[in-house]
Amino acid sequence: MQNIALIRLQMNHLVTQARQDIHSLSVMNDSSDNSQTLQRLWDTVSTMHFLSEMLANQAMMAGYYFSTVPAPALPAQTGTAAQPVVPPVTPLPNQTLPPPGERTLTLQELETYDGKNGRPAYVAVGGVVYDVTNNRAWAAATHFGLVAGKDYTAEFASCHAGQESILATLPIVGRLAE
């Protein structure tokens, strides 16, 4: 997503999608199916909004270069491309993070990333440390009674069994020290 051609391609896809949805809405007379299409249309427009902001940003900062980040080498992240994106599509900050996989945090270090006082909010699952600072489900660095800064391997297994795709949507910070 770093270069303009790619953003443009994405934008064109979204325009096609939006036109398609508008067409379906115009021919559909079963109103019970409408809500799904309207939801998708809403998401499409939101994403277009975001992309146009990003384009404008790049135009303003012409000459500023993003370093290209290699695909993360950690195992939990491998399935990302194949996984369907779960709406709402919230832009992920991981594209501009330093190459992941280089940091190792101890449990004590992890504890300081509790999301308080402007600090980021990190949680560990299965030895990998994830950033949940701006994840929609982790408002104020809390999530269904859990507070950020801890290892939640067991909690994740019991609450989100079979939902490993959730992890693939989270930016990776590094590994948890053994």
Scanning 12-20, 54-62, 76-84, 145-153 for contacts with ligand HEM by CB under 6 A, the matching segment is 145-153
Name the DSSP letter for residue 76: G
Q: What is the dihedral of CA 2, 50, 116, 128, to 10 degrees?
A: -50
CA 109 – CA 105 distance, rounded (Å): 6
Q: CA 158: distance to chain centroid?
A: 22
Is 27 or 137 the residue whose CB approaches ligand HEM more closely?
A: 137
Q: How far is the CB of 136 from ligand HEM (least distance, A)?
A: 6
Stretch 103-142: interaction string toward ligand HEM, x if CB under 6 A: --------------------x-x----x----x-x-----
CA 99 – CA 53 distance, rounded (Å): 25
Which residues sit at the interface with ligand HEM, rule CB under 6 A? 86, 123, 125, 130, 135, 137, 143-146, 152, 155-156, 159-160, 166, 169-170
